[in-house]
Structure 1
Amino acid sequence: MKTIKLAPVLLIMVFFMDVNTSKATQTTGATHIAYTVTFPEAQAHYADIEMNISGLHQNGLDLKMPVWTPGSYLVREFAKNIESFNVSANGKTLASPKTSKNCWHVNTAGLSAINVKYRVYCFEISVRTSFVDASHGFLSTTGIFIYPDKMLHLPSTVHIVPYKGWTKVSTSLDMVNNDPFTRYSPNFDILFDSPIEIGNQDVFGFDAAGVKYEVCMVGGGNYDKERLKTDMAKIVETETNVFGENPNKHYVFIVHNYLRGGGGLEHLSSTTLGASRDSYATESGYRNFLGLVAHEHFHLWNVKRLRPFVLGPFDYDKENYTTDLWIAEGFTAYYQNRVLRHANLVTPDIFLTTVAAEMSVMENQPGAKIQPLAEASYDAWIKAYRPNENSINSTISYYDKGAEVATLLDLEIINDSKGKYCLNDVMKYMYNTYYKGKKRGYKDIEFKHGLEKFAGKNLDDFYAKYVTGLAPIDYNHYLGYAGYKVTDELVSTNDPTLGITFAANNPKKIISSVLRGSAAWIDGINVNDELTAVDGAPVTDAATILNGKKPGDKITVTVLRDGLPLTLPVTLLRNNKVNFKVEALPNPTPQQLVVQKKWLGL
């Protein structure tokens, strides 16, 4: 194993539990796995991996690379980034033929140890993929570390030799012998759930709920550390109160700040977030970041521990299907707003405005009338992460509709229990019963029974309408429990629309989507058509093409389709988009005030 001598001025922020030599060293005769990661060509986006396996006793060994990363439900084929794969023993190269897209077979008869070397190309910016350049290295571990088949239970060590000038490592993996560049994982599920950031990140920390938190900021930004420490701690405390305990000893936020960034990926004891580096100074930008923090941190309970039955132990070779992503992600999307409200980080008015806006987003998607929520969860692998031009018409987000269903269930439980219970009680009960008690994930019917326990009634009809069915959501019925109603601010408008959108950042008016049931849909305007004229007048400003028109008007639309001109007669229809607003009902009853107080955390 190579080592590196660190300069005396090296600054390391330490928020990790240390692993002593005896814990990191395996029992004599057992299989030992040790990785060394180097970056000889970081500027060209490569990480070089050396894997030493000793204590072998079998005649053959399959070495595998995961094809997906938990929390992101798409087969990403990480093996596509591997180059220069080589296996040797006793100074001699061993044959290592590929037996499948992500598997190499090695004949280990008579061998007790092998050495594996390979390179990984790391140049995809996202929270779920690895990225390396001269400024820093982010290792999304499922796409970095090959593992020996049927040995996912084995521990391993990872030694990092940083690129020139890099001085810090941020990860939730424990240190070995107080060395921040050598980390220990008790098994591969933990290793694959522990991203690693190496570079010169800005690191600060805070304590909350009895846990040490590290925040690792990459890429700069106009953030206020002290404000973040205070507000992130409030989020942690509020979410811990939902479940009654925080199961971590330390937790790491890895935040990648870009010119324009977003998204997050949860892990057992850490999360990776994407953010826009200059958005922290605006109230809306800062609030959006806190919402992302609340969402991903809530996942340390919901999905990482309290999880659908099939999501762990993981099969890293293929899809792991579940109909319950609407609970894992949708409930979490609901809680990110609920937590900000209950932590007093947003006002009740901002919370209700957010609730209304999210209702509008879902209702304006035609796919909400086509794809049931449970199906959206199951088909995430082939639809949600592979959207096309027609996805808006044929699918619904299990995040969006799941959050709406969580809203309804929270209000139902609060109302039916007269303020005694809420969705928090369901989450805590399920966490204690299945994660802590039964030490397994829940099945569909078991989560439904958990909801019924606190709602005090059968939810077959609710599920048939909103989970497995396509019934329109009766928002006013549920909001009425808390003394509110929803109104559509566009209900009295009579604006015409073609029902199309245009590709962004293109001077040509290229159509990128056509809404189901719209004038363009009915009269044959297609995605990828270039809109050139309306009623013979050249199109220069897409925003004004229907000025002076009204629903029912017949117009001619000229497009270029595959380079050929085509003129289509179109009958304009009314724009049916909604823009919801949540308003208080007059003279709320005592029961409504009880629900309102519990729901809004007043």
Structure 2
Amino acid sequence: MPNVHLNLENCQQQQLEVRLSVTPRQSSLGLQLPSWTPGSYLIRDYVRHLEGLEVWQAGNRLAIRRQTPSRWQLDLDHLAPLAISYRVHAAELSVRTCHLSPDHGFLALAAVVLEVEGERWHPHQLSLSLPPGWHSFIPLPEGAGHWLAKDFDQLIDSPVEVGPHRQHDFEVAGVPHRWVTWGKDLTDQELTSADPNWLIDVAKVCAASCALMGESRPAADSYLFVLHLTESGYGGLEHDQSTVLQFSRKALAKPDGRRKLLQLVAHEYLHQWNVRRLRPAELTPYNYGEAAVVPTLWFAEGITSYFDQLVPHAAGISSEEALLEDLGTDLSRYLLTPGRQVQSLLSSGQEAWVKLYKADADAPNSQISYYLKGAVVALVLDLHLRRQGASLPQVLRALWASHGRWGRGYQQGDLQAAFASLAPDLQTLLPQWLNGTDDPSLDNYLADVGLQLQAEPGKHLDLGWQCAQSNGLLSVTRIRRHGPASEAGVIVGDELLALDDERLRQVEDLELLLAPEFLGERQLLLARDGRVRQLTVSPQPPAPCRWSLVPMPMVSEAMLEARRRWLTLQPPRGQGL
């Protein structure tokens, strides 16, 4: 059994020491560090942080042959135990990387632990050396000074949080849950004393997630929440028995901050079913060395993104008004993303490894997030199914019963069949929504529940660009394809100097000169690559700057009832769960 020891005592240098002890089973032995971690579809090349790899056997240092940047080969004369050691630099704070400082430590073990050939499906033992006063929080069974994983997959699926933190315990349907927070300005104690209902509401979200899945208890037999409260940032990463969340202290202080954090909790908690156990076939099992094209990420992430807003409302801790505001914000972001007319939802998932996580200034023109459009299509699917007396939760539960509960990976055809079994016309409609770039009929479906999208016109003439001030310069940060600025020859990175001979120094100067009454050709002076240029631009009338989701006038009682049941995840009237 491989024994992994991590020494985190050198936290000031943000470096941990790894010792891996194993008795080889074969004379030709490979060692490999994963290149990515499940749930985050990007080749991260964790090996760039590894240094000083040595392998010793019976007092002799062995020669190591490097086969790829993240794989090594050993040729052994005998099968005596091996002592493998190396260091990992841990200075990147995210939910999928490693961060070690004098305040805490967080390890995504895919970035730390080498896979020993032939040992993937065997138990692994983990132990730690920590600075004085630090505690460890790991979602693994604990023994006498160590933790035991049933195999390599479970080991690297277990995030490690350490530090002088407090742990808060609660239960969901009798299942033990733990909550741990790290953050400079908001410690665990401050979090719970400032908001004594916080863990109560988290438990309600967890219970509502179980109800959505048609289950009386969580899928995991214990669960760990780790929250990193940081100056900025947002995100989460799901695991079988835990999740790691990152949330901004500034965002939490806003009026909607608590609600947004609970939605993040709901999203990652739902993943213990959808994604972790109800898993795409392409990720069954994981291939940690290379990317796998996953056509069904729209379901894995989009469906979860749709439900993460509804679950807190169904749990009774979010108002209908707030929920409609959040749904409207997502619909507005979708409608303001021109890339939705270029990249299909299916392609968005298939290209996740090379596009979504590597977005550049042109990304809004060329792509659409499978999280965002997936949630929009999920909304349409839910309302379409409700026309047939069914609902989207029924599809999710059916797939859990047929695939997730048994560890069967699903394919696109399985999803298609599950939807068509409740609404036969989805056999035709769903492929159109997945493969096409036309918008689903949002207005038509929202009208079923007495809602409509209301456009808010912009206050300034439309040039199809975004600008920002930095270091005293006003520059173009984004260009909409075929917009007025693009047609005039403006490109990202251009420094804006003057408009109609009026000097530009900040965004407010530009906005004053783009008042709606100044429609017509304009002379733009800019600098590019150290040279000054003059271009003629023709602004268009103000375009919508956002959409809001609002109630329709003169709504019937039947529409109001349909809306209430939809937003609280209840089946249509007259239908069972």
Q: Normalising to structure 2: TM-score of the pair? A: 0.93
Q: In the alignment, does 2:18 pair up with 1:53?
A: no
Displacement of 1:457 after TM fit? 1.8
Q: Which amino acid counterpart does residue 347 of structure 2 have in structure 1?
A: E
- Aligned counterparts of 2:325 and 2:261: Cα–Cα separation in 1: 17
- Aligned counterparts of 1:85 and 1:353: Cα–Cα separation in 2: 53
Q: Flag the 1:349–1:322 CA change in 2: closer, same or farther, 3 A.
A: same
Mapping of residues 240-251 of structure 1, within 5 Å: 240-243=210-213, 244=215, 245-251=217-223
Match of 1:71 among 11, 35, 39: 39
Q: Secondary structure at the match of 1:497?
A: coil
Match of 1:148 among 116, 136, 139: 116
- Aligned counterparts of 2:548 and 2:475: Cα–Cα separation in 1: 33
219-228 or 480-489: which moved more? 219-228
Q: Secondary structure at the match of 2:355?
A: coil
- Aligned counterparts of 2:356 and 2:111: Cα–Cα separation in 1: 21
Q: Secondary structure at the match of 2:377?
A: helix
Q: Does the 8 Å contact 2:139/2:223 carry over to 1? A: yes
- Aligned counterparts of 1:172 and 1:200: Cα–Cα separation in 2: 17
**CA deviation vs aligned residue, 1:344-367 (integer Å, no higher than 9, x gap):** 111111111111111110110110
- Please name the residue that 1:499 is paired with: 464
- Aligned counterparts of 1:564 and 1:587: Cα–Cα separation in 2: 59
Q: Does the 8 Å contact 1:67/1:102 carry over to 2? A: yes
Match of 2:321 among 321, 346, 349: 349
198-207 or 89-98: which moved more? 198-207
Q: Flag the 1:219–1:548 CA change in 2: closer, same or farther, 3 A.
A: closer
- Please name the residue that 1:125 is paired with: 93
- Please name the residue that 1:14 is paired with: none
Q: Flag the 1:114–1:504 CA change in 2: closer, same or farther, 3 A.
A: farther
Q: Does the 8 Å contact 1:140/1:196 carry over to 2? A: yes
Q: In the alignment, does 2:404 pair up with 1:432?
A: no
Q: Does the 8 Å contact 2:9/2:130 carry over to 1? A: no
- Aligned counterparts of 2:205 and 2:3: Cα–Cα separation in 1: 37
Match of 2:491 among 521, 526, 529: 526
Q: In the alignment, does 2:438 pair up with 1:468?
A: no
Mapping of residues 163-174 of structure 1, within 5 Å: 163=131, 165-174=132-141
Q: Flag the 1:504–1:276 CA change in 2: closer, same or farther, 3 A.
A: farther
Displacement of 1:60 after TM fit? 1.0
- Please name the residue that 1:33 is paired with: 2
- Please name the residue that 2:154 is paired with: 190
Q: In the alignment, does 2:562 pair up with 1:562?
A: no
- Aligned counterparts of 1:298 and 1:487: Cα–Cα separation in 2: 31
Q: Does the 8 Å contact 1:58/1:109 carry over to 2? A: no
- Please name the residue that 2:573 is paired with: none
- Please name the residue that 1:12 is paired with: none
- Please name the residue that 1:510 is paired with: 475
Q: Secondary structure at the match of 1:510?
A: strand
- Please name the residue that 1:580 is paired with: 547
**CA deviation vs aligned residue, 1:492-524 (integer Å, no higher than 9, x gap):** x68412222234654211211111222111111
Taking only aligned residues, the RMSD between alpha carbons, in angstroms, comes to: 1.8
Q: Secondary structure at the match of 1:175?
A: coil
Displacement of 1:155 after TM fit? 1.0
Q: Normalising to structure 1: TM-score of the pair? A: 0.90
- Aligned counterparts of 2:316 and 2:447: Cα–Cα separation in 1: 23
Q: Secondary structure at the match of 2:234?
A: coil
312-321 or 493-502: which moved more? 493-502
Q: Which amino acid counterpart does residue 219 of structure 1 have in structure 2?
A: G
Q: Which structure 2 segments of 5+ residues have no match?
A: 571-577
- Aligned counterparts of 2:431 and 2:147: Cα–Cα separation in 1: 48
- Aligned counterparts of 2:415 and 2:564: Cα–Cα separation in 1: 26
Q: Which amino acid counterpart does residue 424 of structure 1 have in structure 2?
A: P
Displacement of 1:489 after TM fit? 2.8
- Aligned counterparts of 2:515 and 2:421: Cα–Cα separation in 1: 57
Q: Flag the 1:301–1:104 CA change in 2: closer, same or farther, 3 A.
A: same
Q: Does the 8 Å contact 1:166/1:198 carry over to 2? A: no
Q: Does the 8 Å contact 1:209/1:236 carry over to 2? A: no
Q: Secondary structure at the match of 2:61?
A: strand
Q: Secondary structure at the match of 2:281?
A: coil
Q: Flag the 1:527–1:43 CA change in 2: closer, same or farther, 3 A.
A: same
**CA deviation vs aligned residue, 1:531-560 (integer Å, no higher than 9, x gap):** 111112210232332244547511111111
Match of 1:307 among 279, 289, 313: 279
Displacement of 1:477 after TM fit? 1.0
Mapping of residues 282-297 of structure 1, within 5 Å: 282-297=254-269
Q: Does the 8 Å contact 2:380/2:440 carry over to 1? A: no
- Please name the residue that 1:229 is paired with: 199
- Please name the residue that 1:261 is paired with: 233
- Aligned counterparts of 1:494 and 1:115: Cα–Cα separation in 2: 67
Q: Flag the 1:515–1:588 CA change in 2: closer, same or farther, 3 A.
A: same
